[in-house]
Amino acid sequence: MKELEYVIIGTAGHVDHGKTQLVKALTGVDTDRLKEEKERGISIELGFAPLTLPDGARVGLVDVPGHERFIRQMLAGVAGMDLVMLVVAADEGVMPQTREHLDIIHLLQVKRGILVVSKIDLVDPEWLALVQEEIREAVQGTVLADAPMVAVSALTGEGIPILMALLTQMVNQTPARTASGKMRLPVDRVFSITGFGTVVTGTLWSGTIKTGEQVEVLPAGILCRVRSIQVHGLQVTEAVAGQRVAVNLAGVEVADIPRGNVLTQPGLWRATHRLDVQLHLLKSVGQSITHQERVRFYLGTDEAFGRVFLLDREEVLPGETVFAQLVMETPVVCQRHDRFVLRHYSPLYTIGGGRVIDPHPPKHKRHQASVMAALAAKSEGTSAELVVQALGTWRHHPATLPGLAETAGLPVSEVASSLAELQESGEVVAWEWEGEMYAASREHWQRWSSELQIHLAGYHRQYPLRPGLPKEELRTRYFGRVPPKPFQALLEGWQRFGLITLNGSAAALPEFAVNPTATQQDLLAKMAETCRQAQFQPPSWPELQESLNIAPGEGEELLHHLLRQETLVKIGEDLLFHREAVQRARELLREYGKTHGGFQLGEARDLLGSSRKYVLPLLEYFDLMRYTRRIGDKRVVL
């Protein structure tokens, strides 16, 4: 037997047109499992069965209910299909739910399909030909316009081998869904099994899911663990995109996961109340949608209520396609290019659908040409164009790779690839810091860099003796809208591209160097020499300024320069020692302490030939620097 194919085949069509019997004829499985379904003779819930094709490949088969009251269940099934069989009974022909199911298939763009005429044992050849012609007319202008047609009887088996052969051919031509990217499993069933707990089922839309890993239930944000996984009834340790899976979860109750929730990897998805869409109103509806009209929204297995906010008009006419913003009453989980269906709020019938352009947009002003142009670009743009457009919204600091992927509505891997391409062409600036990728549009980067150079040049002119502008002061004064971590990444980017140098906690222009004037050099030398000669009884800072006739404003800059160079050491308030004096005092006290087992304040004072005024702050400084430790009235050398 071949490996499991990652293909889901589904049925669609009017109630009682033989879909469930067709599934049974193909698989041997009766998908009407509920008591009510048996009693009423119709499918209410989704049914699932594994199908083994003539070449040995196994695929999943989804049987959807046909009754108009169960369109939500039908939508949940169609959303995960790769290939659809539109079933029309030969004795009835095209019926209302046939047309609505066909509309839904077209809106969701399930492009691979087969037109199956069922129950041919009930009609003569002439009638069958008329029904086939009617079906061909019904599918014109839809994704199934060119679909092959097969006539079958589930009762006699006529046509079933031809259908199986056609299914085999089409399955082999159906590309597997990507197993890369973020895992997403829309939940279509939830139940509990005694001894095992909560089980959810669905079609894995993207990524992989593994036994033992932690997953998140959205939109509630509940974290739980995968206890076990089944694919087509077989126990596996991993399922991949395209497979029908049943997942046994630990740490969550059935009531916490209603149908329509999504199983994802923690932290990689975010639910939304607002989404930009390209919306198409069915021509067959016969009435318009007005601004702020309430609708029912279906995406994946989810049903939600929302309102249509039209951006450039007051109504959408039947057959029109427009850009709009949907504002949901409850959060939904989606990404760019996801397809959805809209139904009238009341009475219930399908009115249109479309695709998601941006799952996390801002609120738009209406009748703005710039908004419509941006939506048009986002709708049809390449990945690279969407990345550039998304970076344009990061106006104040660089974007992280996950953040940019969310803004652009693209997978992280696709954004990373586009960034490499755009960086090579010079359209964006990107760099890595602490294992994370950051990026900025060329326009924003140049603006930030220009502002940076202006601020640093001004600071260097005002404070020529300082090594640079403190980084946090630079952020709070000039880049206050940038949080600390993104600002640190921005600093690293500026340094990497040669725009600044980082000197400890300060930033400076690369060409800047501290270069005192001749007058300043003279004063600096006199300040240092005065303190050096004073040894262990140096003048206070005010005394030093007065003795050398230093202006107050200039004196502070000179003093901080000597402190940064560690020529002088600030021991206490206004108390400055030359570094040679500090080093000499430390040596004398270390030798004395080792010989005498420590020393007291009076002994230190006599040893240094100074007074308590100077020696006590000096000893406290040594304690702080852990050169010494005080024990009672005595200090020992460390």
| pLDDT of 636 higher than 80 | yes
Instruction: Give tens-digit pLDDT for 146-204.
Output: 999 999 999 999 999 999 999 999 998 887 766 667 889 999 889 888 888 899 988 88
Could you give the maximum distance between any two Cα atoms of the chain, in Å?
126
| pLDDT of 41 higher than 60 | no
- Could you tell me which residue, 459 or 233, shows the higher pLDDT? 459
Alpha carbon distances (Å) from 633 to 604, 614, 637: 12, 17, 14
Q: How far is CA 318 from the centre of its chain?
A: 35
**Contact indicator for 270, 308 with CB cutoff of 8 Å:** no
The answer to the question of residue 104 being in a domain is: yes
d(CA 520, CA 528): 12
Same domain, 18 and 137: yes
Same domain, 347 and 402: no
Same domain, 486 and 360: no
Same domain, 387 and 483: yes
The answer to the question of residue 74 being in a domain is: yes
With bands split at pLDDT 50, 70 and 90, how would you rate the model's confidence at 2? very low
- How many structural domains compose the chain? 5
Same domain, 15 and 163: yes
Same domain, 46 and 134: yes
Torsion angles phi and psi, residue 631, rounded to 5: -130, 100
Amino acid identity of residue 180, one-letter, is: S
* Range with the poorest average pLDDT among 3-7, 110-114, 438-442: 3-7
Q: How far is CA 181 from the centre of its chain?
A: 11
Report the interhelical angle of 96-107 vs 71-78 (nearest 10°). 40
Burial 350-371 (b: 16+ CB within 10 A, else e): bbbbbbbbbbbbeebeeeeeeb
CATH code for the domain of 365: 2.40.30.10
Alpha carbon distances (Å) from 145 to 8, 105, 112, 169: 21, 12, 10, 19
Query: pLDDT above 90 covers what percent of the chain?
Result: 62
**Per-residue confidence (pLDDT) for residue 45, from 0 to 100:** 40
Q: Which domain holds residue 148?
A: 4-172
Same domain, 388 and 258: no
DSSP string, 74-115: HHHHHTT-SEEEEEEETTT-S-HHHHHHHHHHHHTT---EEE
Q: How far is CA 622 from the centre of its chain?
A: 52
The per-residue pLDDT of the chain, averaged, comes to 88
Residue 103 CB neighbour total at 10 angstroms: 21
Alpha carbon distances (Å) from 84 to 24, 77, 324: 16, 10, 29
Residue 419 CB neighbour total at 10 angstroms: 25
Instruction: Give tens-digit pLDDT for 575-609.
Output: 999 999 999 999 999 999 999 999 999 999 999 99
User: If you average pLDDT over residues 415-428, what whole number do you get?
Assistant: 92
Predicted structure pTM score: 0.67
**Per-residue confidence (pLDDT) for residue 296, from 0 to 100:** 94
CATH code for the domain of 421: 1.10.10.10
Residue 233 CB neighbour total at 10 angstroms: 10
d(CA 136, CA 313): 36
Cis preceding-peptide flag for 219 (omega within 30 of 0): yes
DSSP string, 389-413: HHHTT--SSPEEHHHHHHHHTS-HH
Amino acid identity of residue 522, one-letter, is: D
Same domain, 208 and 77: no
The first and second tokens of residue 213, run together, are: 């890993």
The answer to the question of residue 443 being in a domain is: yes
The first and second tokens of residue 568, run together, are: 């002088």
Which residues have CB under 8 Å from 101's CB, separation 6+? 12, 13, 14, 66, 74, 78, 86
| pLDDT of 97 higher than 80 | yes
The domain boundary residue, chosen from 514, 541, 558 = 514
Instruction: Give tens-digit pLDDT for 203-224.
Output: 888 889 999 999 999 999 999 9
Residue 424 CB neighbour total at 10 angstroms: 9
- Could you tell me which residue, 240 or 233, shows the higher pLDDT? 240
Q: How many helices (H) and strands (E) does the chain have?
A: 19, 35
Instruction: Give tens-digit pLDDT for 84-96.
Output: 999 999 999 999 8
**Per-residue confidence (pLDDT) for residue 59, from 0 to 100:** 84
User: If you average pLDDT over residues 562-566, what whole number do you get?
Assistant: 90
The first and second tokens of residue 360, run together, are: 């996390």
| pLDDT of 116 higher than 80 | yes
- Could you tell me which residue, 333 or 196, shows the higher pLDDT? 333
d(CA 218, CA 425): 39
CATH code for the domain of 155: 3.40.50.300
**Contact indicator for 615, 608 with CB cutoff of 8 Å:** yes
User: If you average pLDDT over residues 473-497, what whole number do you get?
Assistant: 94
DSSP 176: P
With bands split at pLDDT 50, 70 and 90, how would you rate the model's confidence at 278? very high
Which residues have CB under 8 Å from 467's CB, separation 6+? 503, 504, 506, 508, 514, 564
Same domain, 227 and 162: no
**Per-residue confidence (pLDDT) for residue 35, from 0 to 100:** 42
The domain boundary residue, chosen from 493, 514, 535 = 514
d(CA 208, CA 241): 6
DSSP string, 14-62: STTSSHHHHHHHHHS-----SHHHHHHTS--S-EEEEEE-TTS-EEEEE
Q: How far is CA 388 from the centre of its chain?
A: 17
**Contact indicator for 279, 238 with CB cutoff of 8 Å:** no
The answer to the question of residue 289 being in a domain is: yes
Contacts 24+ apart (CB under 8 A), 371-380: 371/311, 372/311, 372/312, 372/323, 375/276, 375/278, 375/311, 375/323, 376/323, 378/276, 378/409, 379/278, 379/323
Instruction: Give tens-digit pLDDT for 422-442.
Output: 998 999 999 999 999 999 999
The answer to the question of residue 398 being in a domain is: yes
Same domain, 257 and 282: no
**Per-residue confidence (pLDDT) for residue 523, from 0 to 100:** 92
The answer to the question of residue 248 being in a domain is: yes
Instruction: Give tens-digit pLDDT for 245-264.
Output: 889 999 999 999 998 999 99
Instruction: Give tens-digit pLDDT for 59-83.
Output: 888 877 644 444 556 566 566 688 9
The answer to the question of residue 415 being in a domain is: yes
Instruction: Please report the beta strands in 318-398, taking only residues with DSSP state E, as ranges in sequence order.
Output: 321-332, 339-344, 350-358
User: If you average pLDDT over residues 320-325, what whole number do you get?
Assistant: 96
| pLDDT of 387 higher than 50 | yes
Judged on CB neighbours under 10 Å (0-12, 13-18, 19+), 631 is: exposed
Same domain, 232 and 338: no
With bands split at pLDDT 50, 70 and 90, how would you rate the model's confidence at 374? confident
DSSP 255: G
**Per-residue confidence (pLDDT) for residue 46, from 0 to 100:** 55
**Per-residue confidence (pLDDT) for residue 71, from 0 to 100:** 58
The answer to the question of residue 376 being in a domain is: no
The domain boundary residue, chosen from 454, 482, 514 = 514
Same domain, 463 and 558: no
User: If you average pLDDT over residues 549-572, what whole number do you get?
Assistant: 88
| pLDDT of 351 higher than 70 | yes
**Per-residue confidence (pLDDT) for residue 32, from 0 to 100:** 47
